[in-house]
Amino acid sequence: MSSSSSNDGTPAAATAAVIPAERASSGNGAAGGAGFFDTVIDRTLANLRTAWRDIADSARGVLGGGAPRPDLPRDDAERLVERMRDCLQARGGEVTARARAADLGRIYLALSPVGRERFLRLLAERFDVDRREIAACCAELAAATDDAARRRAERAMRQALEPPRIRLLTQFNGLPEGVKFLVDMRAELMRLTQGDGADPLLAGLEQDLKGLLAGWFDIGFLELRHITWQAPAALLEKLIVYEAVHTIRGWTDLKNRLDSDRRCFAFFHPRMPDEPLIFVEVALVNGMAGDVHALLDESAPVGDPAAATAAIFYSISNCQTGLAGISFGNFLIKRVVDQLAAELPRLRTFATLSPIPGFCSWLDRRLGEAADGGSLLLPAERKAFAALPSHLAKLGLKGLLDMPRWHEDEAVARALKEPLMRLCSRYLALEQTSKRRALDPVAHFHLSNGARVERLNWLADRSPRGLQQSAGLMVNYLYKLPEIDANHEAYTGDGRIAAASPIRALANA
């Protein structure tokens, strides 16, 4: 899509920032261009430290004590525990309590990675539940002889089961950017608790923090905003950094994605007004889109949004690692659909052009389980393979997919198309987890939001990442307004996956 602007594509407010013209095409927007990412995050941390320094300094005479060393050695750690206890006890009134919390937050931000891990271990170990108190509450509850005594024992039990660290963490909620601080702290904990050998205390702290955040984030609290090229440069930078589906290559690419025949929406939380939670990118076109490269083509002419008949959601990116696994509720996409329908009444089709990130991994497992990879093929498909030149025919399904640039060989691509389309239909429409949820995470998201699996698109994403994850296949999920609620209920209640008839037919072939 070509830009309608005659300038160089850089927003005026960003010209003073050191911004690279292009970012590494790693496939993950947040990972590509590490220097760019660090520039944005460093500015965020600097602003946070400044705001909290002013709050902490307001009660410096009460707080006392110097800053710990970056790695938080043992003697500094013991002094820090005392500061945590003072913060928890909230002595000195509300102003002093906020100052103590801000002081702890500034300490955490100033520590090295080693120091931050030690900080979190102190919080997990020293401020966990008191198991002796829990045992006493159990005994009191068991000994209760009337309803009043039982209710008192139950209240005491609930209090005993809440670790003091939860009350300590909650104090950050009242600080400027305090919720964002806790979201990032959880991201750090998630990194530290990966793998089977994770420290159970740190894992418990991570779950406590997840529970807090889950109570604060819900679709009812989220604000939907339309992002345009006139948005603040700091927000546009974050859109570049957080794009996790189709890497934004620079300011010109971003400007194209915000042109008149495109829409970009972001969800925000009132306690994180400058930090997007989710970005949704939409192309306004005619008919169902089946090739992401056409949607991202900067040289394509700008379309007339008022004449568009279809809104294609081609990128949905979660921005906050620390909110992973926390549901914002369903119908996120329906809110965008409703806004687009009100703005552009000619729109009749609301659909996605989505990646299928788990398909090739699932296929590899199926090939590994089969005694012969050919057993996954139907007779007509095996015949098409046998018609290939002998050096290719003997490679089989897995061998052909492992060939570099296999999609550029017309004969190979033709032989692979039918089995891959069939197997991918099966993966999307039939394969489920033990909890009756779609195996593919993107499918689960859209099915939860009330969409149906509508159409598979052959070689719709020929990027290295697209070929590696899904053999170049992409899928359209259709949001049909009269069916959204019923599809959502059928999926979330009974695990029934809504799929178009052609997808069902292929899946069951």
Position 99 in a domain: yes
* Structure-token pair, residue 451: 């969409």
In contact, 71 and 114? CB cutoff 8 Å: yes
> What was the pLDDT predicted at 390?
93
| Domain extent at residue 183 | 58-128+163-216
DSSP string, 284-344: EESS----HHHHT-TTSPPP-GGG--EEEEEEEEE--GGGTT----S-HHHHHHHHHHHH-
Question: Tokens 């937050």 sit at which residue?
Answer: 105
pLDDT digits (tens, 9 = 90+) for 217-276: 877 889 999 999 999 999 999 999 999 899 999 999 999 999 999 999 999 999 899 899
**Positive or negative: CA dihedral 354, 292, 507, 452:** positive
Catalytic residue among 315, 317, 354, 470: 354
On whether both 333 and 369 belong to a single domain, the answer is no
On whether both 101 and 200 belong to a single domain, the answer is yes
In contact, 90 and 174? CB cutoff 8 Å: no
Position 51 in a domain: no
Query: Residue 209: which of 153, 170, 250, 155 has the closest Cα?
Result: 170
On whether both 369 and 387 belong to a single domain, the answer is yes
CA 175 to chain centre: 25
281/298 Cα distance (integer angstroms): 15
183/213 Cα distance (integer angstroms): 8
Q: Give, for 151, the enclosing helix (H) or strand (E).
A: helix 147-160
On whether both 255 and 364 belong to a single domain, the answer is no
DSSP 432: B
On whether both 106 and 184 belong to a single domain, the answer is yes
Q: Give, for 417, the enclosing helix (H) or strand (E).
A: helix 410-429
Q: Is 354 a catalytic residue?
A: yes
DSSP string, 219-282: GGGPEEEEE-TTS-HHHHHHHHHH--SS---SHHHHHHHTSTTEEEEEEEBTTBTTS-SEEEEE
The CATH number of the domain holding residue 246 is: 3.40.630.180
177/448 Cα distance (integer angstroms): 30
DSSP 350: E
Between these two residues, 90 and 476, which has the higher pLDDT value?
Answer: 476
Position 289 in a domain: yes
On whether both 198 and 224 belong to a single domain, the answer is no
**pLDDT bucket at 372, cuts 50 / 70 / 90:** low
Position 135 in a domain: no
Position 39 in a domain: no
Q: Is 58 a catalytic residue?
A: no
Q: Within the chain, what is the greatest distance between any pair of CA atoms? A: 84
**pLDDT bucket at 100, cuts 50 / 70 / 90:** confident
Q: Give, for 349, the enclosing helix (H) or strand (E).
A: strand 349-352
What is the pTM for the complete model shown? 0.83
In contact, 145 and 12? CB cutoff 8 Å: no
For 365-507, strand residue ranges (E) read 452-457, 474-478
Position 137 in a domain: no
Least trusted range by pLDDT, from 34-48, 281-295, 413-427: 34-48
Which of 216, 250, 282 is a domain's end point?
216
166/212 Cα distance (integer angstroms): 8
DSSP string, 369-390: HSSSGGGGS-HHHHHHHHTS-H
The CATH number of the domain holding residue 191 is: 1.20.140.90
266/222 Cα distance (integer angstroms): 10
In contact, 358 and 439? CB cutoff 8 Å: yes
Which of 328, 352, 376 is a domain's end point?
352
387/383 Cα distance (integer angstroms): 6
Position 277 in a domain: yes
Query: Residue 363: which of 419, 404, 423 has the closest Cα?
Result: 423
* Structure-token pair, residue 33: 């261009």
On whether both 64 and 207 belong to a single domain, the answer is yes
On whether both 247 and 264 belong to a single domain, the answer is yes
> What was the pLDDT predicted at 14?
31
CA 27 to chain centre: 15
Least trusted range by pLDDT, from 192-201, 417-426, 443-452: 192-201
Q: In one letter, which amino acid is 80?
A: L
pLDDT digits (tens, 9 = 90+) for 36-77: 445 445 555 666 666 676 666 655 544 456 789 999 999 999
On whether both 366 and 497 belong to a single domain, the answer is yes
> What was the pLDDT predicted at 27?
38
On whether both 341 and 363 belong to a single domain, the answer is no
Q: Domain total for the chain?
A: 3
Which of 312, 330, 352 is a domain's end point?
352
DSSP reduced 3-state for 76: helix
On average, the pLDDT of the chain sits at: 87
454/201 Cα distance (integer angstroms): 45
Average pLDDT over residues 171-190: 91
Question: Tokens 């195996």 sit at which residue?
Answer: 439
For 66-189, strand residue ranges (E) read none
Catalytic residue among 446, 448, 470, 488: 446
On whether both 283 and 376 belong to a single domain, the answer is no
Average pLDDT over residues 350-374: 88
The CATH number of the domain holding residue 500 is: 3.40.630.150
Query: Residue 67: which of 81, 55, 79 has the closest Cα?
Result: 79
**pLDDT bucket at 198, cuts 50 / 70 / 90:** confident
Position 451 in a domain: yes
Residues ≥6 apart with Cβ < 8 Å to 422: 378, 381, 506, 507, 509
Q: What is the dihedral of CA 301, 302, 307, 313, to 10 degrees?
A: 110
On whether both 348 and 283 belong to a single domain, the answer is yes
Residues ≥6 apart with Cβ < 8 Å to 72: 80, 111, 114, 115, 118, 119
In contact, 23 and 33? CB cutoff 8 Å: yes
